Amino acid sequence: MNDRRKSLETQAELLDRGWHLARTPLEIDVTEVEYALMRSYEAFGHWQAECLATVIEFSASGPENALLHIIRMNDRPKSVRDLAQMTNRDDIPNIQYSLRKLLKGGLITRTGSGRAGVTYEVTSLGHRVTERYADIRSVLLIEAVTRIPEMAGKLEDVARTLELMTGIYEQAARAAATHRRRHPQPEPGGEQNGDGTS
């Protein structure tokens, strides 16, 4: 523990980690988590795309690949509303675009109608692709996790922490939307400076 503290003190002396989003030690720590989340999200997307590409010649983004597996989850049909709720997304048009892409690729099928409700489930091809994906994931990703000492034991804590942060971000987003101030409108034909003056 002392070695870690010394290392952090050395970093603090050598590196300037403060900026407009990181003015206090707590803000610095939160910002470091945010950057880690951004990089992890992108790395996760790269992994999903490359893993899927080893299974089938089908170009899909990370979120599209995630939708495919969530549709397969528990082998039960899911509506757009289910998918949005399960992924914490509200960009329904983008979800629908991804679903059309998966449909065109023959990986999912659509049943139902507007009134009764439309649901999606994987096709036999989608089932084979997701099974093969799971096999490759086990060999490449899960094996890598098992090689890192004590990593498996930390994953549950990581998941709980991320869920807590998700709730905090959601609550903060609601508060920001509730208390958003009205910005002054620019004068016709005039430019505004950053402080709102012409």
Q: Render pLDDT for 122-156 as a digit per residue (tens, 0 to 9).
A: 999 999 999 999 999 999 999 999 999 888 889 99
Q: Quote the pLDDT of residue 187.
A: 76
End-to-end, the C-alpha distance of the chain in Å comes to 55
Residues 41-50 have pLDDT tens digits of: 999 999 999 9
* The pLDDT value given to residue 188: 76
% of residues, the chain, pLDDT over 70: 85
C-alpha 106/C-alpha 189 separation (Å) is 53
**Domains of the chain, first to last:** 18-170 (1.10.10.10)
Contact indicator for 116, 79 with CB cutoff of 8 Å: no
CB environment 142-152: b (16+ within 10 A), e (fewer): eeeeeeeeeee
Task: For residue 42, give the H/E element and its range.
Answer: helix 25-53
